[in-house]
Structure 1
């Protein structure tokens, strides 16, 4: 590893950030020994057929509901920080927590109305918590009395009526099941340790007597289309094997990647963030709350706007993924009005524009600065949908990388045809559309382009200017970070930069095209409150390798890994404090020779334990003769 040290010259500049939570975007890959996986010998054609409805759906409803809706984020008169369904883990004694079940009486529960709301929102499937980490079952279990029938005044099954209602509405139905973490039953795994002697017990006995029998119960009784495992924690391979053996009881079932060691399931599960890219050869589903909690919290009013939800839906679809959007009902069975309002507004948008979401594939162009795109590839031709978030004031947008002559270009809102100009220049090709003065939709306006015959689409990448220089701008970077410390592009001191770079596990990369091979000098501007160090490395943008899992269990996702290039080792750069995260300095990064034309990747990663809040501006590659 080479290291560069330098003295700072104070000038303005900018910042960076990235990483993930829950199971995420490109997750750790378990071993290939999957003896009990019913699909281990499945062909690609067989898997495509099994996943077809799920890939068509693109949008589903997640429901977190249970006894935790009674305290609703408040314990002994104090508002408890964190997500509502985890309130017991703030060390509430078992018997005290179980007393909340006496108040869990959802007399206003209307499963038909819930299913109708999901359908009105444009969702195609529903997933509800059969059992969360507090161990309480929303169905009558034969192996415990800690369930809706035996422990609550309601005394009736909550799962079966919703399964029936969903299917009557033409929706698929799924169940969430916390298979390992259980804070009430003795032996269940407790991430935050045991805080009540009543929780102590044998873990293997818990799996044999509670977890595995309950998995069998919900699978055989409700025949779900999806089984959503969660928090494998310290689950062993032997314990995971016992659970995996239950899956075959539902032919065609889809499972996620959170069962335990040795089982990658069908879907990756980025939680509370949209991954910067999709997953190579893997389906993925982003799960996300509407406010800051999964389970109901009476005092959490930090609601996402309808526009934000629609933009996330478009963004996820543009990367080839599904969006599982959560609601947290109250203990009386009602859904918070803010959730209902947003779902109805999303549904109105989907009624007009759902064609641009359902069954579409990831964008062949990558990301546009004005929005996103999805595509439907046909045998001869394609239909491209442009999701315009920022309607241009000059009445024009450029669709970079679009080299085909479209046979039709129309607004989805009213079918109005649009004029366009195709262009092909040394810097690239594209299409310029002339738009009406005002956006037809307040959230996201969709333009539909139909191409009959041969398609010519190219991914958008930064390119060299005529003088050979290249600027890697922050808004073109792929940001890898978690939901709590998400990297973001911002403007500080008049500079666009990557900011909120708090975590040393967050990292970024750019992919770009070189048409004029040169030796370049690299430079940027940075602002940091402390002494920091980061590395950069040039990699092959056309070749990926198997990603290495992190040491963070299911919480951190593994992003795509690009192949290294001979002669391009990791370079470490140390930056002394610039005085504050608002003060930018010029940073010289050294020289780099790129000998061949092609597509390359430049990765930038913090050096662990040598990191502080930092902002990073554009990285500039300048030919040495300039």
Structure 2
């Protein structure tokens, strides 16, 4: 598992729009019906299991920490030397019933397991190679067959991960740098490898009953055309019409797959997405990786993802003996206990209607119910701003205690105050609000206020993003609106201007030389605007601040917008902040 090379591929970012999410042969309604179970499930188990569990080592040749399933690459091994691990792989403690029950007890609704990872070893019975668990190991059994039967018995959906990249197959290209002299590429044929891949996908999709998900990975070394991705995906859907396919063979398909990160907000245009994440730092089992995330942190991550409309695919790396590590079992059990009490606040919910919350926590919605996930109860009491819909009643899910609700009015909109329950959950106390109707939230309550000097800071994290590609990014030097590749996308802020006058307009952005040159406007919706030109700052993370002019503003609430006038080089900029400073 490792996601590479997507950020700068402008064409791919365009493909990720919601307009492309459904297949060409289905309506939006059919797409929603096909993906309904997945959108409601919210929580799944990822399993990375293979012969890399034998060495169970996540370090490279220099002792630097990596990820265990990349052992062959980390140690720069030759194929024949890595193959020896197959003969040592004998997971006699594997118990499909126990695995599925562990997932189910944790509150997970589906499982995605590696049928073949980048090392090329097949964890299923394939007639197309001897390099598989039923032929190359002393175990001889097909764990995918046993898992498929057990998932059906326990009511859990099953999906297969399949790596496009294959370091073992003689026709897969390119060769690794350290093996080029030992295993030359002469005679290799990628198209022949694609036929092998298609044959294996047919096996996976015809020999194991209904398969809910096909989860591609390792496609970054080739284009969609080289991988015959459209042809492959059409074949998959011809065999399993209801299947859900991810976006990792360079076609958007059904959902996006952020890895080891949680987006700052919902995907543009309602795009479906699923964060996949490890419980420690590696996907495959590694005896030398003990950096386990606490259960409390994982529960909060689940709340965060659900509040943004996403799914959480949480990884398990079983041992070579076929067992889940005890540290993982303990954490999954703790999540399961929380989900047993609070699962209704996760399953079948949609994203929060609030742009921000005045407390440390998250919010989800289901019909006429709001669920508040309170991570830390605020000292000043729990309040909600801007909720226009009347609250009928409030309860704490952990004790079913009924809570009092008070409503007051302010110039910025309604404020709801909720009493503190007798017992708090250390991970997340969930408050269920029953409303008189689906929630309606006034954005007036979220108007940005000037600081004590009258300066109005319009930051990326507070922007409302309109369109199909632009989205907020954070981490890795980013705190900005990026992926801005559609000139029709724009961003707005609602702010309060304290007094009339002229305001200096400063814009902080980043843009590499090859994408510079876009013209943009900053101004009041329906009022005065000024324009600027995006210059080259060095890279997408080299930010600079420019003064582009002055705006005359009147007192009161205004919507400030940044719009693209022209975009000659395929992307606008990474926008961090617009600052309005009063003059005189």
TM band (smaller chain): 0.7 to 0.9
Q: How does 1:570-581 map to 2 (within 5 A)?
A: 570=533
Shift of residue 213, structure 1, vs aligned partner? 0.6
| Contact 1:461–1:512 (8 Å) recurs in 2 | no
Q: Which residue number corresponds to residue 456 of structure 2? A: 470
C-alpha spacing 1:363/1:77, structure 2 compared with 1 (3 Å): closer
- 1:209-250 CA distance string (max 9 Å, x none): x21111111011123111001122214426223422321101
What SS is found at the alignment partner of 1:198?
coil
Question: Within 1, Cα distance between the matches of 2:248 and 2:241?
Answer: 19
Q: Which residue number corresponds to residue 44 of structure 2? A: 60
Question: Within 2, Cα distance between the matches of 1:79 and 1:471?
Answer: 46
More deviation, 445-454/353-362: 445-454
| Contact 2:450–2:496 (8 Å) recurs in 1 | no
C-alpha spacing 1:598/1:567, structure 2 compared with 1 (3 Å): same
**Which structure exhibits the higher relative contact order, with contacts defined as CA atoms closer than 8 Å and separated by 6 or more residues?**
1
More deviation, 302-311/451-460: 451-460
Question: Within 2, Cα distance between the matches of 1:386 and 1:191?
Answer: 51
Q: Pick from 211, 220, 225: which aligns with 1:237?
A: 225
Shift of residue 70, structure 1, vs aligned partner? 1.1
Question: Within 2, Cα distance between the matches of 1:401 and 1:309?
Answer: 29
Q: How does 1:189-208 map to 2 (within 5 A)?
A: 189-190=173-174, 193=177, 195-196=179-180, 197-198=182-183, 200=185, 201-208=188-195
Question: Within 2, Cα distance between the matches of 1:518 and 1:173?
Answer: 62
What SS is found at the alignment partner of 1:127?
strand
Q: Structure 2: any 5+ residue segments left out of the alignment?
A: 465-470, 485-489, 510-515, 539-543, 564-575
Q: Pick from 361, 373, 376: which aligns with 2:350?
A: 361
Higher helix share: 2
C-alpha spacing 1:293/1:539, structure 2 compared with 1 (3 Å): farther
2:434 pairs with 1:453:
no
C-alpha spacing 1:505/1:318, structure 2 compared with 1 (3 Å): closer
More deviation, 127-136/186-195: 186-195
Q: Pick from 129, 140, 143: which aligns with 1:144?
A: 129
C-alpha spacing 1:38/1:314, structure 2 compared with 1 (3 Å): closer
2:406 pairs with 1:421:
yes
Q: Pick from 299, 303, 311: which aligns with 2:288?
A: 299
| Contact 2:505–2:580 (8 Å) recurs in 1 | yes
- 1:249-288 CA distance string (max 9 Å, x none): 012111111123xx31101111110111112231111111
C-alpha spacing 1:540/1:520, structure 2 compared with 1 (3 Å): closer
| Contact 1:367–1:373 (8 Å) recurs in 2 | no
C-alpha spacing 1:525/1:227, structure 2 compared with 1 (3 Å): closer
Aligned residues: 530
Q: Which residue number corresponds to residue 248 of structure 2? A: 258
Question: Within 1, Cα distance between the matches of 2:79 and 2:474?
Answer: 32
Q: Which residue number corresponds to residue 364 of structure 2? A: 374
- 1:516-575 CA distance string (max 9 Å, x none): 48642357999xxxxxx9x997668999xxxxxxxxxxxxxxxxxxxxx96332466989
- 1:67-95 CA distance string (max 9 Å, x none): 11111126799745211111212321100
Q: Which residue number corresponds to residue 568 of structure 1? A: 531
Question: Within 1, Cα distance between the matches of 2:400 and 2:501?
Answer: 48
Q: Which residue number corresponds to residue 44 of structure 1? A: 28
Q: Which residue number corresponds to residue 168 of structure 1? A: 153
2:101 pairs with 1:116:
yes
Q: Structure 1: any 5+ residue segments left out of the alignment?
A: 1-19, 488-497, 527-532, 544-564, 576-585, 604-615
Shift of residue 472, structure 1, vs aligned partner? 4.4
Q: Which residue number corresponds to residue 493 of structure 2? A: 512
Question: Within 1, Cα distance between the matches of 2:16 and 2:340?
Answer: 43
| Contact 1:21–1:272 (8 Å) recurs in 2 | no
Shift of residue 191, structure 1, vs aligned partner? 8.2
Q: Which residue number corresponds to residue 83 of structure 2? A: 98
C-alpha spacing 1:428/1:190, structure 2 compared with 1 (3 Å): farther
Q: Given the two structures, how large is their TM-score scaled by the length of structure 1?
A: 0.75
What SS is found at the alignment partner of 1:568?
strand
Q: Given the two structures, how large is their TM-score scaled by the length of structure 2?
A: 0.80
| Contact 2:280–2:293 (8 Å) recurs in 1 | yes
Shift of residue 602, structure 1, vs aligned partner? 6.4
C-alpha spacing 1:21/1:348, structure 2 compared with 1 (3 Å): farther
Question: Within 1, Cα distance between the matches of 2:524 and 2:178?
Answer: 47
